Each structure stands twice: as structure tokens, then as C-alpha cells.
Chains A and B, each alone.
Chain A
Amino acid sequence: MHISDGVLPISVTVGCYVASAALVAWSARRTRNEELPKLAVMTAAFFVASLVHVPFGPTSVHLIIPGLTGALLGPSAFLSIGLGLLLQSLLFQFGGLTALGANALMMGLPALACGWFFQRYKGRTQLRQAFVGGLAGAAGTALAAIILAILLVAGGEDFFGVAKIALLAHIPVIIVEGVVSAFTIGFLTRVKPALLQTSFLRQTKAAHG
């Protein structure tokens, strides 16, 4: 789910670049120094996850994990995803360099939304955290598909047609990501709950102040 060069009109491309640059700056300001190693690891995971191909029927789909990145990183997720996408487009030729802003918005906004959703609704119990994490992981990809449709509408496509195709094509990814996120977050709550806790505290502070 990457937008290639030349799909979007120039005005949309430039607008997306400006918006994502602003979001990256905001994301970088919200990042604390102690979190840099976690951020680096999650960025590397996001960068590599796109190479994990899951065979599904005649085609194969690959993971994107914006939801999981958002759930673990909170506001810093946008910075992480922006850097991951930049390196993906430079090294893997996934999506064009001119469409980087649009791609960052497409993956980064769901990550922020899912991060907020996870921090807001995760409970105390391990099972509930895993469930909410899985939900956030699934919602991340679904939201990304919807934003993809919105961006393509700017390129002159029919919204519901594109949205339907994008969502249908990503149903397997959505399911797989939900399962992967649920397992990852369930594992982390058992092994290292502090990873999920720090960004939770920061998030509530931001929500109140």
C-alpha cells in the first residue's frame, strides 16, 4: 500500500509534504531522549515488516504495522514512520520519493490515531491489552486504506470505488496485523510492561495539558 510517483497531482503532493513535515517536527519535539532506543528499534521493525510476505490465496500480502508502531510509540510514531518510509523508498523502491509526504500521512496518521486509541482504552489486564492492541493493529491498516482512498480521490478517482477496492485488497493484511499486534502487545505486557507504560503516561499528560 504505497503511492507511487506521478499518481497524485502536484498540489496534493506539496500539501502532503508540508503537512507531514509539520507532523514530523511535532513528533520529534514530543520525543524524549530516554525513548530514542525504543524509537530506533520500532523504526527498524517498521522498516523490515514490509518484507514479511504472507501468502494469501493467489497473491501474497505484506505487513505494514502502523497500528503496532503507534501503540508502542505514541506521538513519536510519526517520526519513526516517516524515517522508515524514507529508507524504504530509497532502498526498496517502495513508493516514490515525491509521494513520500502522502505515504507518510497515509501510514502516520493511522499510527497516531491507533496510538491514542490504544493508550486510551487499554485496561489493566493482560488479556484486554492484547485485545485492544490487536484492534488497534487492525484499525491502523484499515485507516491507512481509507486515507489512501481519500488521497486518490484528490487524483481524480471515484472515492467509494477506490475505498472498496483498497479495503477488500487489505482484508487479509488487516486480519494478520490484528493477530500479530495482539500477540506482540500481549507478549510485551507480560515481559516488559514498561515499554507500553511510558508512552501511556506521556499521552495522558498531553491529553490533560
Chain B
Amino acid sequence: MTIIQRGLMVGLLWICLAGSPRSLPAQTPPEEGSQEVITLLNEQNRKLSNDLRRIHREIAALRADLDKPGIKDVFAGIGYIFGLFGVAAFIASRRKE
């Protein structure tokens, strides 16, 4: 078993060592196309950063909106006020009896 495992390990290592130099030339871009690729990347980069800035602005606006009291808070407050005064009126009416 151990011999088979060692053999497998060595084989894998050999394949990696042998395979890696062969795959390298494919990744390097051709010399004549590099300028185009750079301009394309720059354009893409600019577009993406514009989008990102817009999203940042929207998040800031959303956060500002979240700080503002919503309709829920308004009705909660009115409910509290009427409820508290209702309790006060109830207690006052009981005390009178």
C-alpha cells in the first residue's frame, strides 16, 4: 500500500512539474493585443468605479432615510399617547366612584 501511495505521489508531482511550464506560455497575452486589453480594462474599471460610487451614494441616502421617523413611528407614538391618556382617564374615573 505505502509503495503504491508513494508512487502515486511521485507521479502527481511529476505531472505538476511537467505540466506547469507547458501551461505558462498560454497565459501570457500576445504582444500586439496588450494595448487593446489595457484600454478595455481601463474602460471597464472606470465603469465599475462609477457604478460603485452610485451605489455608495444610494446607501448613504438609504441610511439617511432610515434615520428619519417612518409612518410606523408616528402611529406608534399617537397610540402611546392615546393609550396613556386612556389609562389616566380610567384611573381618574375609578377614583371618583
Contacts and interface: CB of A to CB of B under 8 A. Distances in A.
A51 B88 contact: no
Contacts of A36: 85, 88-89, 92
Interface string B60-97: 00000001010001101110111011101100110010
Nearest to A50: B69
A93 B70 CA distance: 12
Contact of A87 (B80, B85, B92): B80
A39 interface: yes
A132 B81 CA distance: 29
Chain B interface helix/strand/loop/mixed: helix
B81 A47 contact: yes
A54 B80 CA distance: 26
Contacts, number: 46
A155 B74 CA distance: 32
Given A33-B93, A33-B96, A51-B74, A43 B69 contact: no
B95 to A, nearest CB: 9
Interface in A56-114: 83-84, 87-88, 91-93
Contacts of B92: 33, 36
A37 interface: yes
Interface in B29-62: none
A13 B85 CA distance: 27
Given A33-B96, A48-B78, A87-B80, A39 B73 contact: no
A189 to B, nearest CB: 25
B97 to A, nearest CB: 12
Interface of B: 67, 69, 73-74, 76-78, 80-82, 84-86, 88-89, 92-93, 96
Given A33-B89, A43-B85, A91-B77, 15 more contacts: A33-B92, A33-B93, A36-B85, A36-B88, A40-B82, A40-B85, A43-B81, A47-B81, A48-B74, A84-B81, A87-B80, A88-B77, A92-B73, A93-B67, A93-B69
